Each structure stands twice: as C-alpha cells, then as structure tokens.
C-alpha cells in the first residue's frame, strides 16, 4: 500500500496492478454526539482523461462552522458491484453509482471543495451514529450551498 501512495504522490498517473485486493481499511473516527458534527468529503481533483483511482479525505466539522459544501442526493443503487476508492491512504469500497459520480465530479471545474455524501460521511456500521446523523439531516441540508 505504501508503494501505491508513493506512486500516487510521485506522479499524476497512478497504475495499480489487478492483484491488489480491496480491504476496506478506512475506519471512521467517532463523532462527538454532544455536538452537531458532520463529516465532509474533500475530493482530490484529477483531469477528465486521467485514469487514476479516486482519492479523497474525510474531515469532521461542526455544522454551524463548516466550510461551504454541497450535498449529494442520490440512490445508493444495487449492493454489487463495488468499486474501491481511497480515503486518505486507506481503501474503502463504495457502490458503483457513487464511484461513477466521484470519478466524474473530480474533474469538474468547480469551486466546491467539500461534499456531503451520506455513504461516506456516516459510519454505516454504527446504528448509534446513523440515528444521530439522521436527526441532523435538516441542518446538514439547510447549511449546504446547494444539493446535487
């Protein structure tokens, strides 16, 4: 994995052999449920013709003081097939329609730096966090610049 990241940082192009298996290495850090915290995705930009993997970071903010962001409204689609993205230096599997959006959006000429995407911003493996974040949906969508 470190060789993969070295290649990513040393070149705009990233070439990964088919032998790399997705491992879902990324783990969400717990949110402070005493605050109105939200995670936002910062997508690493790439040219439309650049055939690299999707890279992003996930950062935590209080909703009231979060930087400008857009919110993605979409259907998750079928559970298979899955595609791999990289959050920081960790792999993470997403459904194909989200992957296709991220792959296309990373090359958009946009001033949008942050995106709210429930599949990435909520720890789907934590029922407590999911319930807490569902209660925050109104402020999350009210604070966003616009919904796509």
Q: What is the pLDDT of residues 27-58, one digit of tens each?
A: 999 999 999 999 999 999 887 677 788 999 99
63-108 residue pLDDT tens: 999 999 999 998 888 989 999 999 999 999 999 999 999 998 888 7
In this predicted structure, what is the pLDDT of residue 30?
A: 94
The more confident residue out of 148 and 8 is 148
Residue 64 parent element (H or E):
none
Residue 119: name the closest of 144, 89, 146, 83 by CA.
83
Residue 82 parent element (H or E):
strand 82-87
Task: Give first-to-last CA distance, the chain, whole Å.
Answer: 33
The more confident residue out of 75 and 132 is 132
Q: How far apart are CA 30 and CA 122, in angstroms?
A: 10
In this predicted structure, what is the pLDDT of residue 23?
A: 58
- Give the contacts of 36 (CB within 8 A, at least 6 positions apart): 62, 63, 64, 136, 139
3: DSSP letter: H
**Residue 110, pLDDT above cutoff 90:** no
Pairing of strands 55-62, 82-87: parallel
In this predicted structure, what is the pLDDT of residue 77?
A: 87
pTM of the model: 0.81
In this predicted structure, what is the pLDDT of residue 106?
A: 87
């Amino acid at each position: 994995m470190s060789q993969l990241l070295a290649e990513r940082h040393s070149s705009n192009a990233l070439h990964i052999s088919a032998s790399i298996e997705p491992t879902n290495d990324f783990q969400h850090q717990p949110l402070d449920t005493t605050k109105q915290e939200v995670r936002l995705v910062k997508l690493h930009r790439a040219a439309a013709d650049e055939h690299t993997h999707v890279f992003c970071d996930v950062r935590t903010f209080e909703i009231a003081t979060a930087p400008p962001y857009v919110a993605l409204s979409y259907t998750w689609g079928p559970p298979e097939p899955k595609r791999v993205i990289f959050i920081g230096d960790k792999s993470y599997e997403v459904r194909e329609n989200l992957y296709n959006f991220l792959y296309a959006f990373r090359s958009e000429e946009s001033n949008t730096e942050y995106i709210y995407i429930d599949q990435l911003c909520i720890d789907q493996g934590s029922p407590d966090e999911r319930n807490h974040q569902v209660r925050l949906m109104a402020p999350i969508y009210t604070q966003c610049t616009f919904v796509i």
